[in-house]
Chain A
Amino acid sequence: MAPKVKLPKPGELSIIDYSLPATDWMDTPVEFKPNTFCWGAKGKDLETLGLPNARDWNPSEEDWKLPENWEQTVLDGIAERLSKYRSFKIFMDICVRCGACADKCHFYISTGDPKNMPVLRAELLRSVYKRYFTKSGKLFGRLAGGRELTVDVLKEWWSYFFQCTECRRCSVYCPYGIDQAEITIIGRELLNLLGLNINWISGPAAACYKKGNHLGIEPHALTGIIDSMCDDIEDITGIRVNPTFNRKGAEILFVTPSGDFMGEPGIYTCMGYLMLFHELGLDYTWSTYASEGGNFGFFTSNDTAKRLNYKIYAEAKRLGVKYIIGGECGHMWRVLNQYMDTWNGPADFLEVPKSPITGTVFENAKSTKMIHISEFVADLIKHNKLKLDPSRNDHLKVTFHDSCNPSRGMGMFDEPRHIIKAVCNNFYEMPENTIREQTFCCGSGSGLNASENMEQRMRGGFPRANAVRYVQQKHGVNMLANICAVDRAALPALMNYWNPGVEVAGVTELLANALVMKGEKERTLDIRLNDLPGKGGNE
């Protein structure tokens, strides 16, 4: 329905018929609108990672510089993955399109674009599977829901598999447990066979491979960054914290996402770790080699993820530590919880984690030997091993955002809440159907927290922001706590756009604010070096 050539007068705008003729999804090609997709991977990064078809390319251009015979590469890739992953095969076969998942995706909720329904996002790939791998599809083609693999189909895959944050919310509601994250993971692997990653994922993955972390911070710079955090801690508490790096014989190796090393508010969470471990007198070390807990390889291919993850156990072995503590991060914990041991275990050179402070043995990590900082801290608080002054957080009204991966790939709900309730006096939950296993994604997960797709991120995060807004209006909430580095990087922009006045903090930052350290000076500053309200030295 082409609009008339003459420009409408302002008053006539309302007369234009915006609604397009409804076409079947198979006949609706994808459009690349600015600000809603990420830039293509750079050749140099793919080369570093040894991934195929390394070249610079631009998704908005017609020519994607695909390799010769790419169709066969994709079909062979599908066949290989069907034989390797029962999940993939079953999820391709058993969907009945009941529609229970349809309105559970944050991208669908905020765009109304039907291809963002998990069922249809899966159908993008399923239709090709049917056409080439099932008898009914080979015989009946489109009648059986099959379609040819064409460049347009490929572009559609790219668009929509990089519009899924692998949050698994749909999987919770599916009567067969079909997990769109699993399908997106496979879809992205197929795209990576043709060099079709996004720059925001392949860049950090390459940096992590060579330099140890996504940000590409080199060892001497990392010690410098942490050192300057220690300066700030000294300003706040009067206590000098002296962390060690790459130290052999330490009891514990600490690994956190590198987002905590740079950028606000991530660094405040990192300062929190430093203060906490110092206060406990923990025998622990940082590593500059295994300086990344997160894993952008996970958004590329399982192989890449395994190669990046390798460093954590390798470093723990080299340093001879007893076990590993991991910092606050979302996808990092999906990987550590569900993949690491399988990829790079068994960690038989480590011991079952045992808190040196409380003596608690973490039987739940008896094989991986890696525990979450929130588990470690919740145990400390339960045993009254920390002196806390929650009134230092009285100026904050806090709500907690359950990050997708620790929620639906792990089930960590009560530990962080236990900590928040101990360190803050004002805690309010968001509505029930938007938290815990039903939590809404920040809209920027799975490597989509680039800047060039800001518009896409803002709408993807709208359902989350909308729930925050509810508690902001109802209870005056001004702090959105979380246990995820991507959240800390992505949510400030989201809050700034939708809910100005709500800030973002890691749970450990809130803890550090309330932590009364031995021999500290009267605190007048919070961890962000802002004046502590009501703590003007008269307490």
Chain B
Amino acid sequence: MNNTLKDLLEEKRSVILTKWFDSILDTYPADDSGFLKKQKDRFLNPIGHTFTNGIDGVLGGLISGQDVEESASFLNDIIKVRAVQSFSPSKAMGFIFALKKVVREELKKEIRQNQINEELLGFESKIDDLALFAFDIYAKCRDQLSEQKTEELKRMTFSLLKKANLVSEIPAQEFERKDLDFNI
């Protein structure tokens, strides 16, 4: 990436982050109360904290032009949260593309003056790469959720499986029932 765009992004970094953050939080229609946006304590508002931290890392990675994989841990943090909040996949992942819009709005003037268009295209295709990568993470998270259901069952029954002959009323086919009563 050429220096001009990089400089501009660095310069406007905090504005871009704030707007990007707001656009993510706007996807929480239920947050009428604005709690997620406003509470700053990282333990009292882990979602807000994860997002502010995460997008900062992701944007930092994009600006410095490092490999997509380098931003993996930041992306991972955000997507893990999005994956358990009843969003459809497109809504869960839309936050990445929101960055394009925010950047374009912030750099409106420069774009009009035709200063940075080529670099911007490059930057945006980086965002696309990031999005593809993010989809992998998202799919992994969702897989993990369904795996955990099975694993939990296994954890609950492992010692039983070892000693299956001791248990009278749990015939084999019951392990396939989803609603097995193994709990505390």
Contact = CB atoms under 8 A, between A and B. Distances in A.
Direct contact between A and B in the complex (CB less than 8 angstroms)? yes
Nearest to B98: A14
Contacts of A258: 184
Interface string A424-440: 00000001011000000
- Give the 3 A-B CB pairs with smallest separation, nearest first: A112-B31, A259-B184, A224-B166
Contacts of B160: 225, 262
Contacts of B183: 200, 204, 214-215, 259, 449-450, 489
A492 B151 CA distance: 10
Contacts of B31: 112-114
Interface string B156-170: 111110110011110
Contact of B33 (A15, A102, A449, A496): A102
20 contacts: A14-B99, A18-B91, A35-B86, A35-B145, A111-B85, A200-B181, A204-B184, A207-B181, A216-B181, A259-B183, A266-B184, A452-B179, A454-B145, A455-B145, A459-B85, A462-B84, A466-B43, A489-B183, A492-B152, A496-B148
A18 B94 CA distance: 10
B178 to A, nearest CB: 7
A263 B33 contact: no
A14 B44 contact: no
B13 interface: no
Contact of A18 (B26, B44, B155): B26
Q: Taking chain B's interface residues, is the majority helix, strand, or loop, or is none over half, making it mixed?
A: helix
B3 to A, nearest CB: 26
Contacts of B152: 451, 489, 492-493
Nearest to A469: B46
Contacts of B178: 451-452
Given A18-B27, A455-B145, A497-B145, 10 more contacts: A18-B94, A19-B29, A22-B32, A111-B30, A112-B28, A114-B32, A224-B166, A225-B160, A454-B145, A455-B86
A224 B43 contact: no
Contacts of B126: none
Contact of B43 (A433, A454, A492): A433
Interface residues of A, number: 75
Interface of B: 23, 26-33, 35-36, 39, 41-47, 49-50, 80-81, 84-86, 90-91, 94, 97-101, 131, 141, 144-146, 148-149, 151-153, 155-160, 162-163, 166-169, 178-179, 181-184
A221 B162 contact: no
A10 B184 CA distance: 45
A486 B152 CA distance: 12
A33 interface: yes
Contacts of A344: none
Contacts of A199: 179
B157 A262 contact: yes
A281 interface: no
Contacts of B168: 218, 220-221
Interface in A1-60: 10-11, 13-20, 22, 33, 35-36, 39
Contact of B47 (A109, A217, A225): A109
B27 A485 contact: no
Given A451-B149, A455-B86, A109 B46 contact: yes
B86 A33 contact: yes
A159 interface: no
Given A214-B183, A263-B156, A434-B43, A13 B94 contact: yes
A110 interface: yes
Contacts of A36: 86
A467 interface: yes
Contacts of B80: 497-498
Given A102-B33, A221-B166, A492 B47 contact: no
Contacts of B148: 451, 454, 493, 496-497
Contacts of B32: 22, 114
Given A14-B97, A216-B169, A218-B169, A110 B157 contact: no
B158 to A, nearest CB: 6
A326 interface: no
Interface string A232-252: 000000000000000000000
B182 A262 contact: yes
B159 A267 contact: yes
B116 to A, nearest CB: 18
Nearest to B37: A112
A11 B97 contact: yes
A329 B27 CA distance: 38
A228 interface: yes
Contact of A110 (B47, B149, B169): B47
Given A263-B182, A455-B145, A117 B163 contact: no
Nearest to A110: B47
A329 B141 CA distance: 30
A19 B26 contact: yes
A497 B100 CA distance: 29
A489 B148 CA distance: 12
B33 A117 contact: yes
A112 B46 contact: no
B46 A110 contact: yes
Contacts of B182: 215, 262-263
Contacts of B49: 466
A17 B23 CA distance: 9
Nearest to B93: A13
Contact of A108 (B35, B141, B159, B163): B35
B46 A20 contact: no
Contacts of B158: 263-264
A263 B157 contact: yes
Interface in A115-140: 117
A462 B159 contact: no
Given A11-B97, A225-B163, A485 B184 contact: yes
Nearest to A496: B148
A221 B170 CA distance: 11
A15 B183 CA distance: 45
Given A18-B91, A117-B33, A263-B182, A462 B46 contact: yes
B64 to A, nearest CB: 22
A13 B23 contact: no
Nearest to B85: A459
A261 to B, nearest CB: 8
A389 interface: no
A14 B30 contact: no
Contacts of A486: 184
